[in-house]
Chains A and B, each alone.
Chain A
Amino acid sequence: MQINDQVEADRWVGVALDSQIQSASSHPVILNGRELALWRGESGPARVWDDRCPHRGMRLSFGFVRGNTLRCLYHGWTYGENGHCEAIPAHPDLAPPKTICASTHGTAAKYGIIWVNLSATRAAHVPDLPNQPGWLPVRSVHLRASAPQVLDGIAEFDYGEPARTSMPAQNACVVVLGSDTQLFFALQPIGLDKTGLHVVVNESGEPQIPRRQRLARQVARLRDTIEAGGGGVWPSPRTL
């Protein structure tokens, strides 16, 4: 299901935790039904492109990284960080024309989350949070529920202590637990009934491993609670 003819809104959407996109790796990501390749070279920031090699349409997320280039698994066409094709192995003496270029998108890393903006204008800003530094990754989950259902579920979830919920931007949610712990949830609409949720934490005194594992388990419980409330057995048969 590719939705390529719609005009993409000028909006930043979280699609992954920065810590989970390791150096020299490529990943498949779906945003509003659009297939994207999220990759990182051996150094430098992550990048998001359409998941399609300009040559034969192979998914670039199946490709592999050498240096700071992404190479298509199919014929090894090699793309630099700006998306331009730098080498075609079957024609080693050819300098590829500038017109051969992957479809690139605005990408940013903030609060430990990788954000994507699919629009051409990119005038919008990544959502502002009260605490800029100090965010640590908890985990990502992918839910069989719509983004509004997930937002409702986050607000209604029993965190075991007093919780205050606010929405600093569309598809972004902050939950303050007690006086000290802030959880930030970035929602990634995948399809009409599927949503990615990327969670980071900020609290005084850097949370240690057992604390971060406990929060990760709690996010899994949140996922399971939302899916049960939505009445859907995961995954629902009609989307298979």
Chain B
Amino acid sequence: MALKLYDYSLSGSCYKVRLLLAFLKLDYAREQVDFYPGRAHKSLDFLELNPLGQIPVLEDGDLRLRDAQAILCYLADKYDKSGQWLPRDPDLFGTVMMWLMFAGGEIMAASAARLHDSLGYDLDIAAARQKAHAAFRILDDHLTLRAIESTRWIAGDHPTIADVACFPYVALSGDGGIGHEDYPALRNWMRAFRRLPRFHAMSGIPEFV
């Protein structure tokens, strides 16, 4: 089997990759990394795979990639012949990239809050939650304008890797003390995403929708 994912079941970043692998119907091998409590992602062995000491890592034959967003781009570019998940139309491509960077940047404040609350990470939880709320508001504003156009996805008429990248840490934010009460457009977008064919849940995200 060519594809191998260095994975951790509770990681929202790994979940991004697992979701796209499922949407693209790709078979892959999983190697579980003992992220907690083992901190195996900081071991010397793992640092040889990714000097940043982060999961996920994807191997495809001799190629090895880190960063969930980069992996999504690679998988969609190579394996999605429909071009739906990574549109090549320049306007759509640019828009997808913009929200992909947002997923790896601003939204990660919600991941930080979750690491604090669920794994005891030592960080400024008030600041993390405030930044996450600010990011959620930006995405909710965007999806509100999209909904007025009767469009449910972040870019274009189909779900893209921008939706895949933004979904996990928005959906998991309750684990970091960040509720969804203030974000009606986010709630409707998340429900539509969970109803996609081949969607699968993870711990913290209900299977039933």
Contact = CB atoms under 8 A, between A and B. Distances in A.
Interface of A: 16-17, 20, 22, 25, 27-30, 62, 64, 71, 73, 139-140, 142, 190, 196, 209, 212-213, 216-217, 220, 233-235, 237, 240
18 contacts: A17-B184, A20-B147, A22-B188, A22-B191, A64-B206, A64-B208, A73-B208, A140-B184, A196-B182, A209-B148, A209-B149, A213-B145, A213-B148, A216-B144, A220-B141, A233-B130, A234-B134, A240-B129
Nearest to B179: A28
A62 B133 CA distance: 20
A163 to B, nearest CB: 22
Label chain B's interface by main secondary structure.
helix
Contact of B148 (A16, A71, A73, A216): A216
A168 B61 CA distance: 68
Contacts of B208: 64, 71, 73
A27 B206 CA distance: 14
A240 B184 contact: no
A235 B133 contact: yes
B4 to A, nearest CB: 34
Contacts of A196: 182
Contacts of B133: 234-235
B150 to A, nearest CB: 8
A216 B145 contact: yes
A28 B130 contact: no
Contacts of B180: 28
B66 interface: no
Say which size band chain B's interface belongs to.
20 to 34
Contacts of A240: 125-126, 129-130, 177
| Nearest 5 interchain pairs by C-beta | A142-B182, A64-B208, A20-B184, A28-B181, A237-B126
Q: Which of B125, B179, B187 has the most chain A CB atoms closer than 10 A to its own CB? A: B187
Contacts of B191: 22, 25
B144 A25 contact: no
Interface in B152-209: 177, 179-185, 187-188, 191, 206, 208-209
A16 B206 contact: no
A220 to B, nearest CB: 6
B106 to A, nearest CB: 15
Nearest to A76: B208
Interface string B57-87: 0000000000000000000000000000000
B181 A29 contact: yes
Given A25-B188, A216-B144, 14 more contacts: A16-B184, A20-B185, A22-B191, A64-B208, A73-B208, A140-B184, A142-B181, A142-B182, A196-B182, A213-B145, A213-B149, A234-B133, A235-B129, A235-B130
A196 B181 CA distance: 10
Given A28-B180, A140-B184, A237 B130 contact: yes
B95 to A, nearest CB: 16
Nearest to A71: B208
Q: Which of A142, A217, A234 has the most chain B CB atoms closer than 10 A to its own CB? A: A142
Contacts of A139: 144, 148
B172 to A, nearest CB: 13
Contacts of B179: 28
Nearest to A25: B191
Interface in B77-130: 125-126, 129-130
Q: Which of B126, B134, B148, B179 has the most chain A CB atoms closer than 10 A to its own CB? A: B148
A105 B190 CA distance: 27
A22 B189 CA distance: 11
Given A62-B206, A213-B148, A216-B148, A27 B141 contact: no
Contact of B187 (A27, A73, A190, A220): A27
A64 B209 contact: yes
